[in-house]
Amino acid sequence: MDENPGLSEQYRMASPWPLFVALGLPIAEIGILFDIPALSIGGLILFCGSVAGMVQEAGYARTPWRALAACAVLLFALGGLFFYADAQFGAEGIRFVARGWAIVVAGGVLLFGSVVGSLLVDEPEPV
């Protein structure tokens, strides 16, 4: 008698991506909140890379490179909002410039990785 009828052994039972999403987002939030650029950049790269991996694994995309580029564009926009907020509230002592630069740098790293990945990595063959 089979314990798992209808399930094949060729498929993975669990995805590794939710763990990295669950780690990347709080790490990025802590880095942005306490103005620690290394944590901000690393957490955003981990979060966006995991989201791109989930998109590919779910079958919505053949490769994760366009999803990485879309995340990079969203990070550029978020960094721009931080720059705008600093221009509006900078006189009151709240500084957002360093946080905005950390977000923009993370977006730049993701965009660079997306371009390099799309140029150097071969497209997967259909199974």
Q: What is the DSSP letter of 124?
A: P
Q: Where are the domains of the chain?
A: 17-120
The amino acid at residue 71 is C
Query: What's the pLDDT at 10?
Result: 66
Query: What's the pLDDT at 92?
Result: 74
Yes or no: say if 35 and 96 are a contact pair by the CB < 8 Å rule.
no
- Alpha-helical regions (H) of 34-127: 37-57, 65-89, 97-120
Task: Report residues of the chain scoring pLDDT below 50.
Answer: 1-2
Query: What's the pLDDT at 33?
Result: 92
Query: What's the pLDDT at 3?
Result: 55
Q: Following CA atoms 75, 77, 81, 84 in sequence, which dihedral angle do they give, to the nearest 10 degrees?
A: 130
Query: What's the pLDDT at 16?
Result: 86
Distance, CA of 117 to CA of 127 (rounded, Å): 21
Distance, CA of 124 to CA of 118 (rounded, Å): 12
Query: What's the pLDDT at 39?
Result: 96
Q: Write phi, then psi, for 73 (nearest 5 degrees).
A: -65, -40
Query: What's the pLDDT at 1?
Result: 45
Query: What's the pLDDT at 12?
Result: 61
Q: What is the pTM of this model?
A: 0.84
